Amino acid sequence: MTNIQTLNAICSLIVDCPHSTPAWTDSGYLVLRNQNIKNGKLDLSNPSFTDENHFNARNRRAKPSFDDILITREAPMGDVCMIPNGLECCLGQRQVLLRPNPEVVNPRYILYALQSEFVQHQISWNEGTGSTVSNLRIPVLESLNVPTPSIEEQHAIAHILGTLDEKIELNRQQNETLEAMARGLFKAWFVDFEPVRAKMEGRWQRGQSLPGLPAYLYDLFPGRLVESELGEIPEGWAVGSFADAVEIIGGGTPKTSVSEYWDGDIPWFSVVDTPAASDIFVVQTEKSITQTGLNGSSARLITKGTTIISARGTVGNLAIAGCDMTFNQSCYALRGKNGSGNYFVFLSAQYMVEQLKSMAHGSVFSTITRQTFEAVRAVLPPENMLKQFERNATSLLNPILGNVNESRSLAQLRDTLLPKLISGELRVQDAEALCTEERTR
């Protein structure tokens, strides 16, 4: 093990959060909560706010600034994140602000060191009593032993691990952009009927391309809209049940008491495996089953590209199977039929979920049934249109799956390198070689 120092010795400031609840508002000043601190990163997809008076009061002792680290004291305990440049925020509850001394340590290195097994063990285990603890007290936090190699080595370790995280983040941003483009394409073709309207309004002439749609594709669209039970739709298109466009497949769970059914090679999806919104594909599940488990239960194997939707409890979560897998009885799998492709089904399901929420008048619906799919009315385009859309959507969504798989490999490499670099078991030069090998695969 390399040189060890206490957290108190390498921080210029350790400040506990106010032990009070701020006044929550719909907008205003950002309050960081434990739910925003996940896997060493700050996640602001679900932000919380307070008013100016409470914001200033919570920042009276110290205002979070660039390169500060937040660590959670409980529920959960020991999660960390770093404050990015330019973020105006205050602490919520059950958090502590750490300000690493940049003259002594690299703040990003400390972010990774706090996630190491060596430090996390100290956080979760009270050596004096021989029992686990549920609250990280300030004296315990200050006395945490942190591996602190030379500042040059800290910079190198932070660079190696940070580069991996930056590539993972870049993939996430690319996925977000690609999915937004696919959703925009779906909306233009099947919700707004933009190509048809362009023809009707004289904005398109034969042989002319408009943004996002080559000229030859306009021949797929009719030249006018006609009335239907759902309002105006393209001439020649139909209206029917959403169930007319999809095959609905129920899930199942092998008996948990039969060990031979579990821990096999077949991923088994449940709602906890729902991917991040920008990733959309699920490539790894918390649990897996064996072929024996599949054969001995009502579970159904679905192929790569099939949409999965949660139907009970947490309802409406969507994912695309990134490989062949099965799923539990709280979900349905949706597979295209009559020319409907996988991605048309997934993007349609996104709109279907929003329609269900609207039908529920803002209340939380607790169950989706086969009858629910049958009750939802949808526009049904002709088969040649669906096949062309699938080709266009594939060029946008397939790269997301590639990014998801790459990010998974990079995360595994980072998680392998982190404890070995922090403990000194692995030299920086060897870690750099492993990263280079991963990038050239």
Confidence of residue 439 (pLDDT cuts 50, 70, 90): low
Residues pairing with 307 in the sheet? 320, 334
Would you give the end-to-end CA distance of the chain in angstroms? 32
> Cα separation of 235 and 267, whole Å?
43
pLDDT at 432: 79
What does the buried/exposed string (b/e) look like for 408-440 if buried means 16 or more CB atoms within 10 Å of the residue's CB?
bebeebbeebbbebbeeebebeebeeebeeeee
Residue entry with tokens 């008491």: 257
pLDDT at 232: 95
pLDDT at 371: 83
HSE value, Cβ hemisphere, 13 Å, CA-based, for 417: 28
Name which of 365, 391, 389, 385 is nearest 376 in CA terms: 365
What does the buried/exposed string (b/e) look like for 271-309 if buried means 16 or more CB atoms within 10 Å of the residue's CB?
bebbbeebbbbbbebebbbbeebbeebebebbeebbbbb
Decide: 279 and 397 in contact? Cβ < 8 Å. Answer: no
For the ranges 57-61, 133-137, 209-213, the lowest mean pLDDT is seen at 209-213
> Cα separation of 210 and 203, whole Å?
9
pTM: 0.87
Decide: 22 and 92 in contact? Cβ < 8 Å. Answer: yes
Ordered domains of the chain (ranges, CATH):
4-148 (3.90.220.20), 243-380 (3.90.220.20)
pLDDT at 362: 35
Q: Encoding tokens for residue 34?
A: 């434990």
> Cα separation of 151 and 42, whole Å?
25
What does the buried/exposed string (b/e) look like for 363-384 if buried means 16 or more CB atoms within 10 Å of the residue's CB?
eeeeebeeebbeebebbbbeee
pLDDT at 337: 86
* Phi, psi torsion values for 254, nearest 5 degrees: -60, 155
Decide: 351 and 318 in contact? Cβ < 8 Å. Answer: no
Tell me the pairing of strands 307-310 and 318-321.
Answer: antiparallel
Q: Encoding tokens for residue 420?
A: 């070995």
What average pLDDT does this structure show over 185-193? 92
Per DSSP, the three-state class of 207 is: coil
Residues 6+ apart with CB under 8 A from 192: none
> Cα separation of 355 and 369, whole Å?
15
DSSP state of 84: P
What average pLDDT does this structure show over 310-332? 91
pLDDT digits (tens, 9 = 90+) for 117-158: 999 999 887 544 445 557 889 999 999 999 999 999 999 999
pLDDT at 1: 53
pLDDT at 133: 59
Residues pairing with 49 in the sheet? 25, 30
DSSP state of 288: E
Type of residue found at 257: S
% of the chain beyond a pLDDT of 70? 91
pLDDT digits (tens, 9 = 90+) for 225-248: 999 999 999 999 999 998 888 999
Q: E strand or H helix at 105, and its extent? A: none
Residues pairing with 81 in the sheet? 70
Higher pLDDT, 319 or 313: 319
Residue entry with tokens 């007290």: 137
* Phi, psi torsion values for 88, nearest 5 degrees: -95, 120
* Phi, psi torsion values for 289, nearest 5 degrees: -125, 170
SS3 content of the chain, % helix, strand, coil (to 5): 40, 25, 35
> Cα separation of 260 and 291, whole Å?
9
Type of residue found at 276: A
Decide: 326 and 295 in contact? Cβ < 8 Å. Answer: no
Confidence of residue 283 (pLDDT cuts 50, 70, 90): very high
Check the CA dihedral 357-360-364-367 and report its sign: negative
Confidence of residue 161 (pLDDT cuts 50, 70, 90): very high
What average pLDDT does this structure show over 198-215? 66
Confidence of residue 207 (pLDDT cuts 50, 70, 90): low
pLDDT at 131: 53
pLDDT at 88: 97
CA dihedral 168, 174, 177, 180 (to 10 degrees): -70
pLDDT at 72: 95
Strand positions, DSSP E, 92-209: 95-100, 125-126, 131-132, 145-147
Does the pLDDT at position 306 exceed 60?
yes
Radius of gyration of the chain (CA): 26
